[in-house]
A and B are shown apart, each in its own frame.
Chain A
Amino acid sequence: MPMHIGEKEFTKRVDKGLEDDFMRGAVRSAQGRLQTNRANAADELGDWEEWRSLGQEIRQHTMENLDFYLQQLSDKIAELGGHVYFAETADDANNYVSEVIANKNAKKIAKSKSMVTEEIALNDILEENGCEVVETDLGEYILQIDDHDPPSHIVAPALHKNKEQIRDVFKEKLGYTKTEKPEELTLFAREKLRKEFLEADVGITGCNFAIAESGSFALVTNEGNARMVSTLPKTQITVMGMERIVPTWEELDVLVSLLTRAAVGQKLTSYVTALTGPKIEGEVDGPEEFHLVIVDNGRSKILGTEFQEALHCIRCAACINVCPVYRHVGGHAYGSIYPGPIGAVLTPLLGGYDDYKELPYASTLCGACTEVCPVKIPLHEQLVKHRRNIVEEEEKSDLAERLAMQGFSIVAGSGNLYKLATRMAPLLVTPFVKDGSISKGPGPVKPWTDIREFPVPQKQRFRDWFKNREKGGSERAKRGN
């Protein structure tokens, strides 16, 4: 399970999250900030809903013609003198990258942020091969030096840590002596990292979007580290999920605008770097050798299914930033490097229901995610579809629930049985009623009353009241009242 992080059991991960006050404080404040910034940036555009529709159309068109665009991209890169490798599995991708690195006899690798390399656990493999891998995105760097703490968010991987914790990590691991001021922490990391960029033999980047028409790929960052990783080392490897592609620069323009606004509430990030093939004669910057690794790892199985829209995701994390469940449990509770609503949709698709069947249920279906998604992925609907698959196709729901739902189906399907059941309800709960409320409910009501009072069913149901009233009404009518 390369995508997997933390304890195997979902409930244990959730409990750990709920008990971590530092993490929850950090997540609350980050969510508040990111939500406000996103909303302001969206309002500022004026016609946000039209932009979203455009984003949705672009992603839909691209996925429907993915084979065409991937071929175009691949041909173009070959033309430019780069190498393209289609990796069907995580292992294929890791093996290819390992080979390139071995051929170069490279030992030091500088990396910029990439979720797909987290997904395939590339760093673990490279380290096993004896390479020194340095994460150069500040968030990823913090996590790496903190004994490879996994990311808890797809844009801000160290979101679960506050600045005091980061100070302590730097202090303990790197001998940092200054304060928890973000400026001081950043400057310290910057100095450390500068050296790494210059020494690295190979640079590995992710890819926000590849541009099919020109064979380029674009990186969206605020730190500029991706630009360093992709220009300083002699050999560069870019790893992309196979869906991260746009037809032309025009579509890139739209999607980058949506991405930066939805992700961090910025009109544009400090850096949007686009690279086209290896260095050619006469050029000063850029790698001498360029490899693009296009990772499938389960994605092509999603194409053409009712989950295809999950591949529309542009990894902005807006859904994560508004999710009230994520807010309380944090990213690690999802057990996947893809947390939050998109993680709950994507992870079971890539990693299977056996390991991730709880994730689609880790949502109240409040729809906040769907509302903010810049490319209109109906996230909460996809979660319901997962639930349907888990129950009806995989038959992985528990017996007690299945029996309860069987009973529900029979009763709710019949007006008479339902009437009988609602008439019986007050009698059935009578033993549990105390002072007009139910504090300790039986069986299925227990998880409810562990936390909340359960209301007492009324002896006179609404329908009884209505019937009596109608009788009264018709009598009044007869009296000419």
Chain B
Amino acid sequence: MKVSLFITCLGDVFYVNAGKATVELLERFGCEVDFPETQTCCGQPAYNSGYHKKTKAAAKNMIHTFAHSEYVVSPSGSCAYMFHEYESLFEGEPVWQEKAKKLKEKTYELTQFLTEVLKVDNTGSEFHAKATYHTSCHMTRLLGVKEAPLKLLSNVKGLEMVELPNRESCCGFGGTFSVKMPTISEQMVDEKVEHIEETETEVLIGADGGCLMNIGGRINRKNKPIKVMHIAEILNSRGEV
């Protein structure tokens, strides 16, 4: 099965290990992974801030980039969902809308792809730690991927999962919200970190670069002994850590 990786800008620049793990994981389950070089950012920062005309250049580039892909897989629910927004972005432009629809139909978030397309519930992974999982808002509510990551994590050997209190409440990232309204964002991320601490776990697992950058950034600022990891890193682990 041929899979094109949509790495996301955060994945390309900051969270390179999560990207590596994603590739290895997909290959382990028989996928032939390619990385279309012309990919950029999905345009979400502009779109969600209201700059819809300025989002179109990014969207068109992404539509071209993945035009010939069989499947598009991304290690981020939020960015994968942005591909779903392109259809409404090109309202009134039927040609682009049709292309956007095709892209949407073949785009998956990583854990969604593993469970829905590859029918994998158990990645045969091994990771020895006590951990908790942050459910990202866009992935859960907008993309509708709720059970997949939890199911996959529950089958990781050696991993003890503790449910995060108020797990569905937003971490306060919200893209440009985090810098436009930093004081509110701070309170939100602090509450999230408090809940993570309540679980008394050593690892926070997430499936979205934005949330991890926000929560991880706050954890580091406060020098909390909690490691922040992307779910791909856990699922790709074979017990070597």
A residues sitting closer than 8 Å to B (CB atoms) are 14-15, 18, 324-325, 328-329, 361-368, 370-371, 384, 386-392, 397, 401, 405-406, 408-416, 418-419, 422, 425, 437, 439, 444, 447-448, 450-458, 460-463, 465-467, 469
Contacts and interface: CB of A to CB of B under 8 A. Distances in A.
The 10 closest A-B pairs by CB, nearest first: A364-B174, A413-B57, A452-B217, A387-B50, A415-B38, A366-B170, A391-B50, A412-B58, A409-B54, A366-B137
A201 B189 CA distance: 52
A455 B52 CA distance: 28
B14 A415 contact: no
Contacts of A405: 46, 49, 51, 54
B186 A362 contact: no
A328 B187 contact: yes
B151 to A, nearest CB: 21
A413 B60 contact: yes
A409 B173 contact: no
A454 B220 CA distance: 9
Contacts of B11: 462
B131 to A, nearest CB: 20
A387 B61 contact: no
Interface centre among A419, A451, A457 (most CB of B within 10 A): A451
A329 B50 CA distance: 23
A414 B216 CA distance: 30
A368 B168 contact: yes
A460 B19 CA distance: 12
Given A368-B137, A368-B141, A412-B61, A461 B16 contact: yes
Interface centre among A364, A390, A405 (most CB of B within 10 A): A364
B28 interface: no
Given A387-B49, A453-B216, 5 more contacts: A391-B51, A409-B58, A412-B46, A451-B186, A462-B20
Contacts of B41: 408, 412, 418
A408 B191 CA distance: 31
Interface in B3-47: 5, 7, 9, 11-16, 19-20, 23, 35, 37-41, 43, 45-47
B48 to A, nearest CB: 6
Interface string B167-189: 01110111101111111111111
B13 A461 contact: yes
Nearest to B91: A306
Nearest to A423: B13
A425 B138 CA distance: 27
A242 B178 CA distance: 37
Contacts of A450: 182
17 contacts: A18-B184, A367-B141, A368-B170, A386-B50, A408-B54, A409-B46, A409-B57, A410-B57, A412-B40, A412-B43, A448-B179, A451-B186, A452-B220, A453-B217, A453-B221, A456-B14, A462-B13
A14 B184 contact: yes
B141 A370 contact: yes
Interface in B140-172: 141-142, 168-170, 172
A366 B214 CA distance: 14
Given A371-B141, A415-B39, A448-B178, A408 B185 contact: no
A324 B16 contact: no
Given A452-B220, A458-B16, A463 B37 contact: yes
Nearest to B42: A412
Contact of B180 (A361, A412, A460): A361
A401 B50 CA distance: 11
B53 interface: yes
B40 A392 contact: no
B74 to A, nearest CB: 12
B55 interface: yes
B185 A465 contact: no
B50 A390 contact: yes
Interface in B195-226: 213-214, 216-218, 220-221
B178 to A, nearest CB: 6
A18 B183 contact: yes
Contacts of B217: 448, 451-455
Given A367-B141, A367-B142, A463 B7 contact: yes
Given A328-B188, A444-B179, A466 B23 contact: yes
A425 B187 contact: no
B81 to A, nearest CB: 10
A361 B54 CA distance: 18
B174 A415 contact: no
Contacts of B37: 415, 419, 463
Contacts of B15: 455
Given A452-B217, A466-B35, A384 B54 contact: no
B65 interface: yes
A462 B6 CA distance: 11
Contacts of A391: 49-52
A363 B38 CA distance: 32
Nearest to A360: B50
A379 B111 CA distance: 27
Contacts of A410: 57
Contacts of A389: 50
A135 B172 CA distance: 37
Contacts of A447: 178-180, 182
Contact of B218 (A408, A451, A455): A451
A384 B50 contact: yes
A405 B54 CA distance: 7
A414 B40 contact: yes
A364 B173 contact: yes
